[in-house]
Structure 1
Amino acid sequence: MSDDLLQRIDRTLSRAADSGALLPIRTERTPIQDAGIGFTVRWVSTLAHKDAARVEAAVKRDPGFNPFLPPDPELTVGPLGEQHLGVLNKFPVIDRHLLIVTRAFEAQTAPLTRTDFIALATVMASLGGLGFYNGGSEAGASQRHKHLQWIPDAEETARLGLFTDQLPADLPPFAHATHAALPWRHTFVRLPRCDDAVSLGEAMHHAFRNGCESLGIDAATDPMPPYNFLVSRDWMTVIPRIRERHENISVNALGFAGSLFVRRPEEIETVRAIGPLRLLAAVARPH
């Protein structure tokens, strides 16, 4: 299954790149340390005028336009269960960035369901990596049509592991804990080991509901209040949000895995001056 899905992703990538449907944004990276925690700021080089234009195209779309109804066939990897499709991010910053999109319209603020998590787990059970979600525009969502997201194993997955490595090693499945060094309201929930997509998806759904409950969020309310989640094969973290940006720096879920993105090189110094931890705390719900 993993080879087949990975091959489908790579065939679609190659086809979409050849046709011009895929418009990757190439970035440079700057590491920033904050309180002993390593962050990476990705930025579009001032020399990459084409990529800078792609960033503007990605963020300044017609709000009435829905790129997922239907998705571009050149970017569509294929079905992930009966209710979801795998679709490549048209403007990826990270290679093989996959969107898990509902076939029928659902709002990005609608509650996440068992079926949503099984669709994500269909990818992660075979390929690992990191799943994440931007629950509404205040949480960094750029599209109003419900879509979960996945990236392969990369520095973001490893950095999330640096956070979770400091949590209690004996925490049982579905128990939750907080990380003392993170100055925003959050919870981490341990996942059990699962051998197939359905059991992993159900475990993710259960962990999400547990995490929301521990934060005082009703996981079934519609619309949901703004939040992010990130999930690996071992842990999930849920972060309530209060705003999308601070000092003009936009933050989505990957910020809470230590990966920030800015459009202009001078904004690196803004992030450095604020400090990544303070930046994230400014857009999340305070303790």
Structure 2
Amino acid sequence: MLWDIGYEKSNKGLASGELLPLITNDLIIEQNGIGFIVNIETENMKVKHSPSVATHDPFVSPYNPSAYINTIGEQHVCLLNKFPIVVPHLLICAKNYIPQTSPLVLKDFDAWVQGITDDSVLGFF
């Protein structure tokens, strides 16, 4: 269910310009037999790091309607990443602020598992 909504909203967001993918024309430069990925800055990366983007925390309610997917339990929400690496790029976020250095708890994993619907889904913390 989350992925179906995610695909639909991603297509609309890409068409309207609400989503700004960070897809780049990365280069792989090899030196001494080691390949290094070099990221080329894109216009969307400049937008992501601009001061105007930081005016509202997108992970705190009220959520942008074009990014909101669904509530997961009492403590989490599923949102689209405005600056996706892949499309769709779903985020499972705590509704209340939790420092990223805090240990994960069972409810975090319960929410995360709801987004893992098949073997082609990558999830990470």
Q: Same fold (TM over 0.5)?
A: yes
What is the deviation of 1:35? 8.5
Number of residue pairs aligned between Structure 1 and Structure 2? 122
Which of 46, 66, 82 is equivalent to 2:57?
66
Specify whether residues 68 and 26 from structure 1 end up closer, same or farther in structure 2 by C-alpha distance, changes over 3 A only.
Answer: same
The residue that corresponds to 2:112 in the other structure is 120
CA contact 1:76–1:88 (8 Å) conserved in 2:
yes
CA contact 1:16–1:22 (8 Å) conserved in 2:
yes
User: After superposition, where does 1:140-219 map in structure 2 within 5 Å?
Assistant: none
C-alpha distance in 2, partners of 1:102/1:36? 42
Which of 37, 43, 50 is equivalent to 2:39?
43
The residue that corresponds to 1:89 in the other structure is 81
Give the number of the structure whose alpha-carbon radius of gyration is greater: 1
Structure 1 unmatched runs, 5+: 46-51, 134-287
Q: Which amino acid aligns with 2:6?
A: I
Q: Secondary structure at the match of 2:93?
A: strand
What is the deviation of 1:55? 0.8
Which whole-Å deviations, capped at 9, do the CAs of 1:218-240 have from their partners, x for residues lacking one? xxxxxxxxxxxxxxxxxxxxxxx
C-alpha distance in 1, partners of 2:20/2:74? 28
CA contact 1:13–1:88 (8 Å) conserved in 2:
yes
C-alpha distance in 2, partners of 1:118/1:92? 23
TM-score, with normalisation over the residues of structure 2?
0.76
C-alpha distance in 2, partners of 1:36/1:118? 42
CA contact 2:29–2:38 (8 Å) conserved in 1:
no
CA contact 2:69–2:80 (8 Å) conserved in 1:
yes
Name which structure has the greater RCO, CA cutoff 8 Å, separation 6+: 2
Specify whether residues 31 and 53 from structure 1 end up closer, same or farther in structure 2 by C-alpha distance, changes over 3 A only.
Answer: closer
Specify whether residues 29 and 118 from structure 1 end up closer, same or farther in structure 2 by C-alpha distance, changes over 3 A only.
Answer: same
Identity %: 30
The residue that corresponds to 2:43 in the other structure is 53
Which whole-Å deviations, capped at 9, do the CAs of 1:111-163 have from their partners, x for residues lacking one? 21111111111112x13322223xxxxxxxxxxxxxxxxxxxxxxxxxxxxxx
Q: Which has the higher helix share?
A: 1
Structure 2 unmatched runs, 5+: none
CA contact 1:29–1:40 (8 Å) conserved in 2:
no
The RMSD of aligned alpha carbons is 2.8
Specify whether residues 64 and 25 from structure 1 end up closer, same or farther in structure 2 by C-alpha distance, changes over 3 A only.
Answer: closer
